[in-house]
Amino acid sequence: MTEQPLRARVWYRPMRSRDRGEGHRVATPLELLFDLCFVVAVGQAAASLHHALAEGHAAHGVSSFAMVFFAIWWGWLNFSWFASAFDTDDVPYRLATLVQIAGGLTIAAGVSSAFEGDFRVIVAGYVLMRLSLVGQWLRAARSAPEARPAALRFAAGIAFCEVLWIARLFLPASTAVVTFVAVVLCELAVPVVAERSARTTWHPHHIAERYGLFTLIVLGETILSATNAIKEGVSGGEHVGSLVGLAAAGLVLVFAMWWLYFDQPGHARLVRRPSMFTSMSWGYGHYLIFASAAAVGAGLEMAVGYDTGTLHGIGGVAAALATTVPVAVFLLSVWLLHIGPTNECRPIAIGFPVTAVLVVTASFTPAPIHVAAGLAAALVALTVVATHGAPAGGSVQVRGLAR
């Protein structure tokens, strides 16, 4: 009898730390369900960003998107790293995870209101999601003595932050940005403080796969957003040629972004530099990768709207920047986090920052927007060609297991 069917019938098992060098560690069906439900919130955030940009409220739209996306990303990140270290896949664990999913879907329902300044629904979903994780950490503290100090610090830190989020709802609107940043800093500090003396046993290959899967899903949401926008544009029977050009440019952009991210083994930096700073910067920095990938879809919708004349008061440069700026952020983030600023994981990687600058510059060309989009797509595709190759340094070892 194989191990997996046996595990599936267990109602309860002690929550012990997983082995960091465990072989064949992959994402579970529950984790995939978690991702699919959370991408609903990502789609809602991208759609609201598009509406704000289309109405000419770029600063408000970008700031609201950044705040909303933090709630989505931070909830996903904390679940993923906890699961990598303590996933028991028993009934209590599954039920607690489903509560977190319910919190994520509540966040999705509150995205539109948050862009209008009302964060009550998002805070309700966020607190529900985070308090469920507090219960998980307390369970780990009870069952895993070696992880008890870190687990208790996690539980106390998260609970304290949730009190701050609720209290923030009653503060004047004029303090919204300052208080948001303050509580976010508290949230980001919790893992640093909790693991200062003993680190949890997250699995580098499992974490890299989880991040890669979420990147895939966000890129898929980007394709869906762009496809729906082009479908609406083509249904009018006009601008078909330019819309086909935009569709081709959008596909090349997304394909090239996928290639650049996955051409480098995701776990390479986590294993080569197994320090807390590397794991924290890699894990936290993916906020920029996820958010920029989601924003590309909103940008492509802006390009379609400008080309079909449905945008009013928005110039061609602004419409183009809605796509090229997120692409540039994606390129720089992948370069700094996934490959390394010293290019230690790729022989030729200087093309990333150079391409990022050139992509943004393409927005200022006097050509039609579909031509500018095609130029940006060509630049990113050229980077794929220039940087493709075997990672530097050969294979990576984790406790004697070649990966």
The mean pLDDT value for 81-93 works out to: 94
Give me the helix-helix angle, 204-235 and 240-262, nearest 10°: 180
Token pair 């940008």 in the structure block, residue: 299
Q: Indicate if the pLDDT at residue 228 is higher than 90.
A: no
- Whether the CA torsion 181, 183, 187, 192 is positive or negative: it is positive
Buried b / exposed e along 353-385 (16+ C-beta atoms within 10 A): eebbebbbebbeeeebbbbbbbbbbbbbbebbe
Q: What is the pLDDT of residues 332-343, one digit of tens each?
A: 999 888 776 665
pLDDT of residue 348: 53
Residue 347, pLDDT score = 52
| Residue 279: per-residue pLDDT | 80
Q: What tens digit of pLDDT does each residue of 118-167 get? A: 999 999 999 999 999 999 999 999 999 999 999 999 999 999 999 999 99
Cβ(345)–Cβ(272) below 8 Å:
yes
pLDDT in tens, 30-50: 999 999 999 999 999 999 999
When mean pLDDT is compared across 82-96, 204-218, 290-304, 384-398, the lowest value belongs to: 384-398
The pLDDT of residue 22 is 82
Residue 400 is predicted with a pLDDT of 34
Residues 228-233 have a mean pLDDT of: 80
Tell me, what's the pLDDT at 171?
A: 94
Distance between CA atoms of 108 and 396, rounded to whole angstroms?
A: 39
Tokens of 46: 């991208």
Q: What is the CATH number of domain 204-393?
A: 1.20.1410
What local confidence, expressed as pLDDT, does residue 179 receive?
A: 96
237 pLDDT tier (thresholds 50, 70, 90): low
Stretch 215-239: mean pLDDT = 83
Q: What is the pLDDT of residue 350?
A: 65
C-beta separation of 109 from 125 below 8 A: yes
Query: What does the chain come to in residues?
Result: 403
What tokens does 92 get?
């209590």
Alpha-carbon distance of 36 to 221, in angstroms, equals: 10
Q: Which of the two residues, 343 and 282, has the higher pLDDT score? A: 282
Query: What distance in Å separates the CA atoms of residue 215 and residue 233, rounded to the nearest whole number?
Result: 27
Structure tokens given for 309: 């004349």
pLDDT of the residue at 341: 63
9 pLDDT band, cuts 50/70/90, is low
Q: Report how far residue 250's alpha carbon sits from residue 304's, in angstroms, rounded to the nearest whole number.
A: 11
What are the structural domain ranges in the chain?
27-194, 204-393
> 276, 199 in Cβ contact below 8 A?
yes
- The answer to whether residues 297 and 225 touch, using CB atoms and an 8 Å cutoff, is yes
Mean pLDDT of 11-28: 87
Q: Beta partners for 398? A: 401
DSSP H or E run through 171: none
Say what the pLDDT of residue 399 is: 37
- The stretch 230-252 carries a mean pLDDT of 82
